[in-house]
Structure 1
Amino acid sequence: MLKGLKEYFKIKGKNKFQITVRHHVIFWVIYFLFTTFKWAIYYNDFRYAFESTLLGFSIHMTLTYFNIYYLMPKFVYTRKYIIYALAVLASLFVMLLVKFNLTYYLLSTNVWPEGPETTELTLNYAIQTMLGELYVITFVTAIKVTIDWLKEHKRLIDLEKLQLETELRFLRSQVSPHFFFNTLNNIYSLTIEKSDRAPKTILKLSELMRYLLYETKQKRQSLKKEIICLQNYLDLERIRYGNLLTINLNISGDIEGKKIAPMLLLAFIENAFKHGANKNVGEIEIKIDFNIVENFLYFRVSNPIPTKINHNVLNDKQGGIGIGNVKKRLELGYNKEDYKLEINDNDVEYVVDLKIKV
């Protein structure tokens, strides 16, 4: 399971929000060209603008990467905000001294050509220069934080989607083990009796198991295939209960091209046998109706409430798929307006009515 998650996120990590070296290069080249031409127009001196921008460019990059890859992970992500603010101010002050000296000794003794002419480190020059550097740091940091947020947001969405898919697969897998246990016991009895029904029973069980293993992985399954699966299930139950069981199955409407969540309806039918046929002494009748009207399936299954309870049957507390399981699957797999589930339990019968989009 963990290996699967790692592989999943290894693939998902290669997304459009990934920052590569190419993106860094493109950003700084654009920034460098924009700044150079801006000051070239201001100074009316392209060479000086190029040299001053190149000098400031190295300081911008150093401060920016120092902030987003060292200061923020070390202090912001650990909620040490005061220390972070002091570290940024200290970095800006060190940058100020470096820029002043490099400009003074390499470019011009007038360290502030765009402001009042000065050859000294004045307070006004210091404030304006530090604010300019802070602007660059803030701008680049905002881009980094935004992209990180988008990556994290996508990761959480992918994780939520994976969890939902995993939960749905788990819920679909919970067919009652007692059903298979009882069916195998029936097959054993038939083989002891050398009954001609044994091969047919094995075939039905094989078809049902093949469907459950290989045909229920997708989000939606053909309603036609789903009904065939249910018919195989009902055939096995008929073999189990013999003449004591009567099943009235009615299908109306066009089932071609209709799709439904796999094994969803099986839960209600299995529940009818669990609480109806399995606990009842004597003859039992289970009614199942499929009625397709336009894009909706109207499904009903009903079983009588036992008047005489068979105390010899195994008390299956774990149940099969269970109604709670189905309600969870409906919530995860369908919008609220796409289904309506009603369950009525009176003194005579237990009735499930499901309207669902197909």
Structure 2
Amino acid sequence: MERVKKIFVLVHLVLWTLFSLLVALQLSDEGDHRLSLTTGFILTCLLVFYGNFSLLINFSGKKKNRAYYLRLLAIMLLGPLPFVIFHPKGLETLQDSYEYYMMTLITVVPAFTFLGWLARITENLVLNTIRKEQLEKQAVEAELHYLKSQINPHFLFNTLNNIHTLVYKQAPAAPEAVLRLSSLMRYMIYESNSATVPLSREMNYLQDYVSLQQLRYKKSPVVDLEVVGDTTTWYIAPLLFIHLLENAYKHSTARLEPGDIKLTIEVKENTLTFRILNPIGNSAGKTLEEPGGIGLPNVRKRLALLYPEKHSLEIENLGELFIVTLKIYGLHTQAHEREAELLYN
């Protein structure tokens, strides 16, 4: 906001400088009187313009009352005085003073009173628009922060219990499990605070999550994870896929066989396709869309806020299989994200 106000000040300085030069050029034929005429005329314009401009600041958002109109009348009546005083013949006789005063009052004063009002209205419009955008952005950020905070805490408790069992049994997998949990928590708490993160980092987060969930199963990996395309160039909103992956575990059959959950992430040009398939348990079909759930509703809300009209979410219930296909169009690169941030600020 302060930057915009400084820009307005600079615009005022530039325009008044150019206007003063133009007036001086127009009065170049006045010889020795050019400086005094130019000074008087510019001072009159400044007095009327900024008198009304400042008056509108004090009465901004208020109903224009008697005090406003009395002050505006005083500004308009005093406006011609600088021109009359600095005019070489302005004070020679009372008749000359009156004529120059009335000429300025009728021609110059109304014009610059209107310009002062127009400038104040324009600045108010721009500043109010920026304030509204900032408030909307803050509201969106607050809602996104709330949605991101809804990661299922039961996963953390279950993982810690599994790691405790591994440590108790002195299993070789215990140190690796601790490292993966540390990486996952660091990403959730610190790295995901950015508006966007490298897609490759989001993929690592999902892989850590899958590895920790695998502690519950003694068989080969129950998740068949396939990544197609380049994930190092593109950036994406963090923690966007975790609820879909959580749902796949939560609503699958009690006993998962190796490769039962199939997760495919494909990046083609600047479009990302996230597709996850899982077998449905006996009671899963009734709970996938339950009002109290936060998985799919959470994803829908975040997508609507982050990628309006740039995504598609398809959900298929085939009886024994549940398929979710998410497409995001127009992924950002790091350079593009930095440029957008600079333009906004």
- The alignment's TM-score, normalised by the length of structure 1, stands at 0.72
Please give the alpha-carbon distance, in whole angstroms, between the structure 2 residues aligned to 1:161 and 1:230.
28
1:146 CA displacement? 2.8
Alignment root-mean-square deviation, CA: 3.8
Counterpart of 2:281 in structure 1 is: 306
Counterpart of 1:313 in structure 2 is: none
Counterpart of 2:157 in structure 1 is: 181
Please give the alpha-carbon distance, in whole angstroms, between the structure 2 residues aligned to 1:275 and 1:304.
8
Alignment of 1:356 with 2:328, yes or no, is yes
Counterpart of 2:296 in structure 1 is: 323
1:235 CA displacement? 1.7
Please give the alpha-carbon distance, in whole angstroms, between the structure 2 residues aligned to 1:29 and 1:254.
57
The one-letter code of the counterpart of 2:322 is: Y
CA contact (8 A) 1:17 1:150 kept: no
Q: 1:88 to 1:252 in 2, by over 3 A?
A: closer
1:119 CA displacement? 4.7
Deviations 1:203-230 (A, max 9, x none): 2212222333344344443433333321
User: More deviation in 98-107 or 163-172?
Assistant: 98-107
The one-letter code of the counterpart of 1:355 is: K
1:234 CA displacement? 1.3
Alignment of 1:334 with 2:307, yes or no, is yes
The one-letter code of the counterpart of 1:72 is: L
Alignment of 1:31 with 2:16, yes or no, is no
Q: 1:268 to 1:211 in 2, by over 3 A?
A: same
Alignment of 1:54 with 2:36, yes or no, is no
Q: 1:75 to 1:227 in 2, by over 3 A?
A: closer
Deviations 1:48-80 (A, max 9, x none): 4543443344343333332211x2133353121
Alignment of 1:287 with 2:271, yes or no, is no
Counterpart of 1:204 in structure 2 is: 180
Please give the alpha-carbon distance, in whole angstroms, between the structure 1 residues aligned to 2:14 and 2:143.
43
**1:328 match: secondary structure:** helix
Alignment of 1:92 with 2:76, yes or no, is yes
Counterpart of 1:238 in structure 2 is: 214
1:99 CA displacement? 6.5
CA contact (8 A) 2:280 2:321 kept: yes
Please give the alpha-carbon distance, in whole angstroms, between the structure 2 residues aligned to 1:250 and 1:193.
29
1:303 CA displacement? 2.7
Q: 1:127 to 1:90 in 2, by over 3 A?
A: farther
Please give the alpha-carbon distance, in whole angstroms, between the structure 2 residues aligned to 1:318 and 1:182.
21
1:97 CA displacement? 7.5
Deviations 1:79-99 (A, max 9, x none): 216764454234323446787
**What does 1:104-115 correspond to in 2, within 5 Å?**
107-109=91-93
**1:264 match: secondary structure:** coil
The one-letter code of the counterpart of 1:329 is: R
Contiguous gaps of at least 5 residues in structure 1? 1-11, 112-117, 310-315
Please give the alpha-carbon distance, in whole angstroms, between the structure 2 residues aligned to 1:141 and 1:247.
70
1:182 CA displacement? 1.3
Please give the alpha-carbon distance, in whole angstroms, between the structure 1 residues aligned to 2:79 and 2:202.
71
CA contact (8 A) 1:168 1:329 kept: yes
1:105 CA displacement? 8.3
Please give the alpha-carbon distance, in whole angstroms, between the structure 1 residues aligned to 2:143 and 2:179.
30
The one-letter code of the counterpart of 1:330 is: L
Counterpart of 1:221 in structure 2 is: 197
**1:175 match: secondary structure:** coil
Q: 1:148 to 1:203 in 2, by over 3 A?
A: same
CA contact (8 A) 1:96 1:129 kept: yes
Alignment of 1:79 with 2:63, yes or no, is yes
CA contact (8 A) 1:299 1:355 kept: yes
Match of 1:251 among 226, 232, 240: 226
- The alignment's TM-score, normalised by the length of structure 2, stands at 0.74
Counterpart of 1:7 in structure 2 is: none
Alignment of 1:172 with 2:172, yes or no, is no
Please give the alpha-carbon distance, in whole angstroms, between the structure 2 residues aligned to 1:251 and 1:49.
81
CA contact (8 A) 1:18 1:151 kept: no
Please give the alpha-carbon distance, in whole angstroms, between the structure 2 residues aligned to 1:53 and 1:233.
75
Identity across matched positions, percent = 29
User: More deviation in 298-307 or 55-64?
Assistant: 55-64
